[in-house]
A and B are shown apart, each in its own frame.
Chain A
Amino acid sequence: GQQVMQIPQYQHVQEGEDFTTYCNSSTTLSNIQWYKQRPGGHPVFLIQLVKSGEVKKQKRLTFQFGEAKKNSSLHITATQTTDVGTYFCAGLSGTYKYIFGTGTRLKVLA
């Protein structure tokens, strides 16, 4: 079946450093969504990418969707302690069914 992998699994950074997580699907995706889950919390929707090669920014966060629509990335510039959490990508498999990536857990050291 379809798989969505994310790397790295864990990332520890010093506050102020940049962070990137990569998402790779075994099949072409119709769109991709990104979620953030704080420790002890639930996933919260961040953004959706639909077009091939699309780039979107939210303040310090930059999201990209690959040209082949099989991969995506999330880049955080100058991390802050509030960025701590697990970041998931979720790819649309067929219709109405999102397959979540394995997640990248980010720790930010002050």
Chain B
Amino acid sequence: KAGVTQTPRYLIKTRGQQVTLSCSPISGHRSVSWYQQTPGQGLQFLFEYFSETQRNKGNFPGRFSGRQFSNSRSEMNVSTLELGDSALYLCASSQGASNSPLHFGNGTRLTVT
């Protein structure tokens, strides 16, 4: 069974630009969560989608948004990029129950210059 796939692996953007990250979950998984990982803040929860609906949201500004498609694939968008948005963005899929383990992708490394 294929794992969680995130594209692209690396991105370099300039301040003020916007970026879209993509995540394909494990086949059969209907939940996708997004996390931001930085050395200083650890893993910070962004949002979680299940069957195209956002079920939970973290404490990030509105510049961070996401969506999920009918095939469970998910995208995350960050608008008006800031230097502080440089991070590893991890996507995790699960079967969707509250006690389901999270299966992480390899992440997208975003650098904002």
Contacts and interface: CB of A to CB of B under 8 A. Distances in A.
> A and B: real partners?
yes
Contacts of A99: 45
Contacts of B42: 88, 100-103
Contacts of B92: 43
A94 interface: yes
A97 B45 contact: yes
Contacts of A35: 102
B29 to A, nearest CB: 13
Nearest to B88: A42
Contacts of B101: 33, 45, 48
16 contacts: A31-B99, A33-B102, A35-B102, A42-B106, A42-B107, A45-B101, A48-B101, A92-B98, A94-B56, A96-B48, A96-B50, A98-B33, A98-B102, A100-B44, A101-B42, A103-B43
Interface of B: 31, 33, 35, 42-45, 48, 50, 55-56, 58-59, 90, 92, 96, 98-99, 101-107
